[in-house]
C-alpha cells in the first residue's frame, strides 16, 4: 500500500477524536471526518508499521447522522471535529468514549448516566483567542489549523458568542487602520501576537486584551486611538488590557498586564454567585453548561450544613463559592498566586464569611490546617487535563473525606485516578456535560463515597 493510493473502506467505528476507523489487511486505518457505518474511497496519506492514515476522496455510502449545515471554516480550522455529525449523535459518541476508558481501567461503565447537552449548541464560548500574523505585507487574524502553525483566516466562528466575534473583528480592524503590525513568527518582529476577548454571558460585560510582542506599542498614540474607537463603539467594554508577551513561545499570554482603559476584569454570574474574570483567570468557557454542571454536582454531593468542604486546584474559587451556602466552612488550596488573589476577591464580592482560599502547596497547607484541628468531610477537585498527581491522591486518601466530587476535562486521566481512589471509595455516579459542543472534549463529574 503506497502513499496516495486510493482504497475502499468500511468505517466500523469512531475514535476518541471522532475520526473514522477502518481495517485493511489487518491494519487499522484512521479516516478523519468519516462516520461509523459509512463506505468511503480514501487516499493514503501516511503508512506506518502500526496504522494507516487516509483522507476521504468520496463517500460512497453516507451515514444517516451526517449533516450539511456546518461552519464555513470547518474544513481548515480544526477547532471542531464533529460539526459534520448530528448533534444528538455526538453526545452518544462522547458517552461511549467515557464508558470505554472506564472499562479499560476495570471500572463499571454502567455507572455512566445520560449526558447533559445544549439545546442550541452554537455561540456558547465566552472567550476567544485569535492569533494575528503579518503575512504577505498585510495583517491576518484567524485560527491555526490543527497540529500546525498554518493560520486560517476566521471571521465568524460559530461556537463563539456572536458579540465576541464582532468585538474581535473590530479590534482587528482598528489595529489595521492604525497601521499596528501583526506578529511575524519567523523574524520575531511585529506589535500584536493575539487578540483576546472575554465576556460575561449573564452580565454582558466585555474585556478586550491585546497580546503585545512589542512593548513600545502599548503607550503609543496609535494604541490610544484604538482604545478610543473601541470605547466609542461598545459601551459594555469594561476594560482594555495590553498583555506583554515578547518571548519566542507557543504560550499565548505573558505575565505582565497593563490596563489601557477601565479595569483589568469583568464580572460574570453563575446561579446566585458573581465572579470576577481577569485576563489570566481560568474560567469555564461555557457559562450556561457550567451552571448546570455545578448544580448537578451540588445535588449529587448531598451537602449538609455541619460539613466542611475542601476545594483542591481551586483556581478562582468558582466551585467552592458556588457551594459555600450549603456547608459549614469552605477551604481552597491553590499554588497559582494570581488565582488565589482573584478567589479572595470573589469571596469578598459575594460577601461570603465561611470561605477561605490559601496560597501554597496543597499537601503542606492542609497539614497545617489539620494541626489546627480542621477536618474535611468533602473534597472537590477540578484538576487540569493531566489529572491528579501522586501527591494529590495521597493527600485525598490521607484525609479520608466521606465524599469526593471529581470534575474532569479528560476522561482518560479521570479513569486512571478513579482506579486508584476506588480501592478506598465507592463510585456513586458519573455524569457527563457537553461544555464543548462539536469538539472532542467532554466534562465529567464523578461522586465517590468512603467505603
Name the residue with cell 487516509.
Answer: 54
* Sequence-separated (6 or more) residues with CB below 8 Å from residue 367: none
- Of these residues, 80, 174, 208, 409, which one is catalytic? 409
Q: Are strands 403-408 and 425-433 parallel, antiparallel or unpaired?
A: unpaired
226 CB-side CA count, 13 A: 30
Cα torsion 29, 30, 34, 36: sign:
positive
Roughly what angle, to the nearest 10 degrees, separates helices 390-399 and 362-371?
20
Name the residue with cell 445520560.
Answer: 114
Q: Exposed, middle or buried: residue 69 (CB in 10 Å: 0-12, 13-18, 19+)?
A: exposed
CB atoms < 10 A from the CB of 229, how many? 17
Name the residue with cell 511575524.
Answer: 184
409 has catalytic annotation: yes
Q: Exposed, middle or buried: residue 138 (CB in 10 Å: 0-12, 13-18, 19+)?
A: exposed
SS3 304: coil
Alpha helices in 272-373 (DSSP H): 287-301, 318-323, 337-349, 362-371
Separation CA 12–CA 382 (nearest Å): 35
Separation CA 402–CA 448 (nearest Å): 8
Separation CA 440–CA 451 (nearest Å): 34
Measure CA 368 to chain center.
33
Separation CA 268–CA 17 (nearest Å): 31
Find the length of the chain.
451
Residues 268 and 275 sit within 8 Å (Cβ to Cβ) = yes
Strand partners, 357: 332
CB atoms < 10 A from the CB of 347, how many? 21
Active centre residues (catalytic): 409
Amino acid at each position: 500500500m503506497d502513499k496516495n493510493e486510493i482504497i475502499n473502506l468500511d468505517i466500523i467505528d469512531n475514535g476518541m477524536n471522532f475520526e473514522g476507523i477502518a481495517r485493511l489487511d489487518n491494519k487499522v486505518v484512521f479516516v478523519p471526518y468519516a462516520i461509523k457505518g459509512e463506505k468511503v474511497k480514501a487516499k493514503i496519506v501516511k503508512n506506518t508499521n502500526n496504522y494507516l492514515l487516509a483522507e476521504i476522496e468520496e463517500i460512497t455510502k453516507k451515514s444517516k447522522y451526517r449533516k450539511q449545515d456546518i461552519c464555513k471554516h470547518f474544513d481548515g480550522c480544526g477547532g471542531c471535529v464533529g460539526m459534520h455529525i448530528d448533534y444528538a449523535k455526538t453526545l452518544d459518541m462522547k458517552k461511549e468514549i467515557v464508558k470505554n476508558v472506564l472499562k479499560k481501567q476495570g471500572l463499571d461503565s454502567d455507572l455512566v448516566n445520560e449526558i447533559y447537552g445544549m439545546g442550541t449548541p452554537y455561540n456558547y464560548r465566552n472567550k476567544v483567542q485569535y492569533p494575528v500574523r503579518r503575512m504577505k505585507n498585510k495583517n491576518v487574524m484567524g485560527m491555526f489549523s490543527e497540529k500546525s502553525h498554518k493560520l486560517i483566516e476566521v471571521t465568524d466562528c460559530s461556537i463563539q458568542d456572536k458579540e465576541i466575534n464582532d468585538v474581535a473583528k473590530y479590534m482587528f480592524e482598528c489595529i489595521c487602520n492604525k497601521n499596528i503590525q501583526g506578529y511575524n513568527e519567523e523574524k520575531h518582529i511585529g506589535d500584536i501576537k493575539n487578540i483576546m476577548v472575554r465576556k460575561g454571558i449573564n452580565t454582558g460585560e466585555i474585556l478586550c486584551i491585546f497580546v503585545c510582542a512589542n512593548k513600545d506599542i502599548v503607550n503609543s498614540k496609535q494604541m490610544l486611538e484604538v482604545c478610543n474607537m473601541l470605547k466609542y463603539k461598545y459601551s459594555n467594554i469594561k476594560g482594555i488590557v495590553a498583555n506583554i508577551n515578547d518571548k519566542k513561545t507557543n504560550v499565548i499570554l505573558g505575565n505582565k498586564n497593563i490596563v489601557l482603559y477601565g479595569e483589568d476584569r469583568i464580572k460574570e454570574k453563575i446561579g446566585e454567585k458573581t465572579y470576577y474574570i481577569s485576563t489570566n483567570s481560568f474560567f469555564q468557557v461555557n457559562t450556561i453548561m457550567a451552571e448546570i454542571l455545578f448544580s448537578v454536582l451540588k445535588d449529587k454531593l448531598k451537602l449538609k450544613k455541619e460539613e466542611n468542604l475542601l476545594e483542591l486546584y481551586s483556581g478562582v474559587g468558582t466551585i467552592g463559592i458556588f457551594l459555600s451556602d450549603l456547608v459549614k466552612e469552605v477551604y481552597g488550596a491553590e499554588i497559582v498566586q494570581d488565582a488565589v488573589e482573584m478567589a479572595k476577591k470573589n469571596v469578598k464580592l459575594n460577601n461570603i464569611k465561611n470561605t477561605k482560599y490559601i496560597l501554597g502547596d496543597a499537601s503542606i497547607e492542609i497539614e497545617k490546617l489539620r494541626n489546627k484541628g480542621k477536618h474535611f468531610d468533602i473534597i472537590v477537585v477540578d484538576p487540569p487535563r493531566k489529572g491528579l498527581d501522586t501527591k494529590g491522591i495521597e493527600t485525598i486518601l490521607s484525609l479520608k473525606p466521606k465524599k469526593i466530587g471529581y470534575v474532569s476535562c479528560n476522561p482518560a486521566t479521570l479513569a486512571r485516578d478513579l482506579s486508584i481512589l476506588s480501592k478506598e471509595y465507592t463510585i456513586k455516579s458519573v455524569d457527563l456535560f457537553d461544555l464543548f459542543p462539536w469538539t472532542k472534549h467532554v466534562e465529567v463529574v464523578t461522586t465517590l463515597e468512603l467505603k
